[in-house]
Structure 1
Amino acid sequence: MDQSQFFSLSFMLPLIAVVIFIGSRKKRNRHKPPSNKKPTLPPSPSCLKPWPIVGNLPEMLFNKPTFRWIHNLMDKMNTEIACFRLGNVHVIPITSPKLSCEFLKKQDAIFASRPVSVSTSLVTNRYLTTILVPFGEQWKKMRRVITTELLSPARQRWLLKKRVEEANHLVRYVYNQCCLSPDEGGTVNVRVAAQHYCANVIRKMVFNKRYFGEGMEDGGPGLEEEEHVAALFTILKYIYSFCVSDYMPCLRGLDLDGQEKMIKQALEITKKYHEPLIEERVRRYKEGFSDKEPEDLLDILVSLKDISGEPVLSSEEIKAQITEIMIATVDNPSNAFEWALAEMINQPELLQKATEELDAVVGRERLVDESDLSHLNYVKACAREAFRLHPVTPLNVPHVSMSDTTVDNYFIPKGSHVLLSRVGLGRNPKVWDEPLKFRPERHLNNDGSAVVLTESNLRFMTFSTGMRGCVGTTLGTTMTVMLFARLLHGFTWDVPHGQSSIDLTESKDELFLATPLLALAKPRLPPHVYRTNNC
């Protein structure tokens, strides 16, 4: 048990003792289903009889990481839906595509809210944004702004040049690693390359800049960018991470898990880089500096006016929304590519199929363009398979029921947290043949029709669906497939010298590769292609 768990339990156990002492066997009826005794709550593990008041929080603290504890118990129960009581909250994980569709399609409107938590309150500056905000007028306002002003098809076309610049920059960076030893190639930290490509794309689109500092001579991230990306991934790690005080609000402020401190420290770093740029842009627009064409998404957000000529968004809304955009962009494509490349290096025939498709569609005299992406079915199948087998997070962003309801004859009380399991869906043996094998061919359509990254039947999750579905699906798809295509087309990949294969061990506490992928890269296109494409 680590120190944070010890201190959490030191507070929890006396609380439990007091509750039991004062006779806490009172019946609580506010979440009971109608008196006809049907339907019932989803099944709970027989070994977990909830404690009064605190529910199964003590067991949760003893069994970190929580997502593995939940999945292990569901496997032992042989169930695709379960119910855990954490504090006074019913937490309902789901690993069934059929049940997932019941929640996010058939009864989407009931499950369109989000939980209130310490982490999300801090990240969204008290719920001023879109993804993490409970259902209400603020969510409607911000979703409208994001959908119509930032992520519309016209806006995506407008930002094409910036995305191409960063795709070229990615190739140039990897090419520079190869040039350190032209005959033998260069060892590339694929996690660094992929994560910073994603961060560069969104920084260029939002701030019209790649670096907060000077960057490195080889095109890699500088210290500022490394600090920024590390902070973004820290925020992602602690959002909805089963913090004790999220289920017992009376404990908020005590920071028993230490998570509040970690989130605050990471947010201070992002604010250090974001806020001076945002405040300067807001000041310039207030002073009437609006005679030039917008250059980036920050210009769009700052310049939005209502019918009376007043700003649509406050500076606090802009700051919070930009942080949310950043964290929503950096993780999914980069994790998918790192895992896919690791799997494909261990199965070289998969790399060969991908490069054969790329050569057939693109040729070897230029780099991949976005206009090519729709024709790259096998490359997209590799991305889908990575999303299926190796999701970046074990559980989807929680959905909160806004009223009592029944799903598949199970009673779901108002306020329940419904968690669609990305791991459970994508690795469900009832759905997938050989679920733990990386096999992109399973995603190719027999009729030869286009492969897409979305999965409407929720057999795995790339981008969520429904009212709280991802509004950035087009951008996320483009970034993902371009990352795959540019690096698979531009370079050969192999194990580093002295290794026989890539270790595919998964991190204990997360779903990343336990060790960042180091791979040997060599240019596979004629030298003039890298030069003529500004690489």
Structure 2
Amino acid sequence: MEHAPSLLLSNLQSLWLFLCFTIMLKALIPNLIQKYSEIHKPKLPPGPKPWPIVGNLPEMLANKPAYQWIHNLMKEMNTEIACFRLGNTYVIPVICPTIAREFLSEQDATFASRSLTPCTDLVSSGYLTTILVPFGEQWKKMKKILSTALLSSQKHLWLHDKRTEEAHNLMFYVYNKSINVKDGVGGLVNIRNVARLYCGNIFRKIVFNTRYFGKGRTDGGPSFKEVEHVEAVFALLRHLYAFSISDYMPCLRRLDLDGHQKKVKEALDVIKKYHDPIVQERAKQWNHTPKVDEEDWLDILISLKDANNNPLLTLEEISTQITELMIATVDNPSNAFEWALAEMINEPKLLERAIEELDSVVGKERLVQESDIPKLNYVKACAREAFRLHPIAPFNPPHVSMSDTTVGNYFIPKGSHVILSRKELGRNPKVWNEPLKFKPERHLTIDNGSNVVLTEPNLRFISFSTGRRSCPGVMLGSTMTVMLFARLLHGFTWTAPSNVSKVNLAESNDDMFLADPLVAVAKPRLAPHLYHL
């Protein structure tokens, strides 16, 4: 028994050592796990080293326009995905279709939100709309309304006559400008103005059932009011997602250092000046004597009811959504046609091929109709090529990550702004042969050119995007674009002015438009009676 105390002491010492060892392990294991995780955790995409607090904002402000700075740095780093820290926000540009599809197809649900900026807040009246609104119930509600009430196949057919009326007016207006002939040369036409007029007219007709806000003009052209209306829309487009310092440093928003908020407010004032009186007067009409049949989109939006038979939308929601719809309607078709025609005037064989197709399908005894579109594959290829090579904007609207995730073996933190490069996706030399050359025939190899469409779900370029945030107006946008191309290519011969040997295809220093609006000589090529309303 004399060994019992020493045995007990030995056991207590062993227990104490075991407890100490356990405590040490408990303290060390989390650190070891963290260090192991950090070693094996995917890193952020490559990018310039950020400064404390402000990130890469100093470089962004010193290198304008920001999109060129981003693209040039990605080329220097030889990367197809990058990470720029602007303030406390990770901005992830992508120029590779494979990585782009991983964001918008495989992980679409994670990247279905939008960024909150002063300008998007202003344009959407506090996020009441669809395109600019973060993921949530308001976005779901408004997208359902757009998809089912305004942009369905049935409603597209319902608005056919209004679109056709504006296609006729387009021909009438350009014809009136083209017959100002001196010595049989033809008339000068500002293509940018004409294309934007057409898109603005279609918007006003399908939303408000009118071409003009006032009396209009007898030659089919716009008055000051219609010009001011469309110019205000393009002013909004210039400043939405324009890499404003206020987008990334919320503490500076009240200062509006780059003046973007001021310009957006001014443009919105112009648009509201024309929209709001019509919306308010129409709402009064519906409240006083509800119409039997709707005539346009505004009637539909006002007449929508909830489960309790109360108005589904407020007047503010209606007015703001209409503004956002116009932003989405007028830009792509008009820009695509201006660029395409400039390219085709410089390569007359492209014009000849388009005209040959149009004459073969349509003939010269009538005008192009929407029912001809399925057969106009080369014309559609020209539009696709314009979307590819000359997009309206350098990036698509940001897709904001709603959780941490991994894409392309890179860590993408929650809250990151993923921006797909419209410019570099469409010009990626790994995807496109001779990427800087305007070659419509490259699109005829898809399905043997049997049915060319303007969508591009594989994101080799961006037209209507894909996934939850894709444009619900594919049918309307495609129809507007192809009819603009087809009517003007079929109805007129186009040449450069006599004092110009080649159209200048330089891009603007600040955006993706032609540096100078395209002015071309138009000569009618059909019977005169076809141009008259």
What is the TM-score when the length of structure 1 is the normalising length? 0.92
1:239-250 maps to which residues of 2 (within 5 A)? 239-250=240-251
Match of 1:501 in 2: 502
1:10-49 maps to which residues of 2 (within 5 A)? 34-45=37-48, 49=49
Aligned equivalents of 1:387 and 1:316: distance in 2?
A: 33
Structure 2: stretches of 5+ with no match in the other structure: 1-34
Larger radius of gyration: 2
Deviation at residue 286 of structure 1 after TM alignment: 2.0
Aligned equivalents of 2:515 and 2:477: distance in 1?
A: 24
Match of 2:397 in 1: 397
1:118-133 maps to which residues of 2 (within 5 A)? 118-133=118-133
Match of 1:190 in 2: 191
Secondary structure of 2:306's aligned partner: coil
Aligned equivalents of 1:33 and 1:238: distance in 2?
A: 44
Residue by residue over 1:418-451, the C-alpha shift from the partner in whole angstroms, topping out at 9 and shown as x without a partner, is: 0000001001111111110001010003634210
Match of 1:68 in 2: 68
Residue type at the aligned position of 1:366:
R
Deviation at residue 54 of structure 1 after TM alignment: 0.7
Aligned equivalents of 1:335 and 1:185: distance in 2?
A: 24
Secondary structure of 2:255's aligned partner: coil
Aligned equivalents of 2:274 and 2:36: distance in 1?
A: 50
Give the 3 Å change call, closer, same or farther, for CA 419–291 of structure 1 in structure 2.
Answer: closer
Match of 1:323 in 2: 323
Deviation at residue 526 of structure 1 after TM alignment: 1.6
Aligned equivalents of 1:307 and 1:388: distance in 2?
A: 44
Give the 3 Å change call, closer, same or farther, for CA 511–448 of structure 1 in structure 2.
Answer: closer
Residue by residue over 1:335-360, the C-alpha shift from the partner in whole angstroms, topping out at 9 and shown as x without a partner, is: 00000000000000000000000000
Aligned equivalents of 1:447 and 1:248: distance in 2?
A: 50
Tell me, yes or no, if the aligned pair for 1:215 and 1:223 is still in contact at 8 Å: no
Secondary structure of 1:212's aligned partner: coil
Tell me, yes or no, if the aligned pair for 1:33 and 1:411 is still in contact at 8 Å: no
Tell me, yes or no, if the aligned pair for 2:123 and 2:324 is still in contact at 8 Å: yes
- Percent identity, please: 64
Secondary structure of 2:85's aligned partner: strand
Tell me, yes or no, if the aligned pair for 1:118 and 1:246 is still in contact at 8 Å: yes
How many residues in Structure 1 have an aligned counterpart in Structure 2?
A: 497
Secondary structure of 1:419's aligned partner: strand
Match of 2:298 in 1: 298
Residue type at the aligned position of 1:405:
T
Tell me, yes or no, if the aligned pair for 2:457 and 2:465 is still in contact at 8 Å: no
Structure 1: stretches of 5+ with no match in the other structure: 1-31
Would you say 1:141 and 2:141 are equivalent positions? yes
Deviation at residue 529 of structure 1 after TM alignment: 2.2
Would you say 1:485 and 2:486 are equivalent positions? yes
Aligned equivalents of 1:54 and 1:255: distance in 2?
A: 17
Match of 1:281 in 2: 282
Residue by residue over 1:131-187, the C-alpha shift from the partner in whole angstroms, topping out at 9 and shown as x without a partner, is: 110000000000010000000000000000000000000000100001111722100
Residue type at the aligned position of 1:130:
T
Residue by residue over 1:166-216, the C-alpha shift from the partner in whole angstroms, topping out at 9 and shown as x without a partner, is: 000000010000111172210000000001100100110000011112333
Aligned equivalents of 2:68 and 2:436: distance in 1?
A: 16
Aligned equivalents of 2:217 and 2:207: distance in 1?
A: 21
Tell me, yes or no, if the aligned pair for 2:234 and 2:327 is still in contact at 8 Å: yes
What is the TM-score when the length of structure 2 is the normalising length? 0.92
1:147-186 maps to which residues of 2 (within 5 A)? 147-181=147-181, 183-186=184-187
Match of 1:80 in 2: 80
Residue type at the aligned position of 1:121:
D
Match of 1:261 in 2: 262
Deviation at residue 33 of structure 1 after TM alignment: 11
1:216-231 maps to which residues of 2 (within 5 A)? 216-231=217-232
Aligned equivalents of 2:379 and 2:94: distance in 1?
A: 29
Tell me, yes or no, if the aligned pair for 1:33 and 1:39 is still in contact at 8 Å: no
1:226-237 maps to which residues of 2 (within 5 A)? 226-237=227-238
Tell me, yes or no, if the aligned pair for 1:383 and 1:481 is still in contact at 8 Å: yes
Aligned equivalents of 2:433 and 2:251: distance in 1?
A: 46
- Kindly indicate which of the two structures has a greater share of residues assigned to helix: 2
Deviation at residue 34 of structure 1 after TM alignment: 4.9
Secondary structure of 2:510's aligned partner: coil
Match of 1:23 in 2: none
Match of 1:517 in 2: 518
RMSD between aligned residues: 1.2
Secondary structure of 2:188's aligned partner: strand
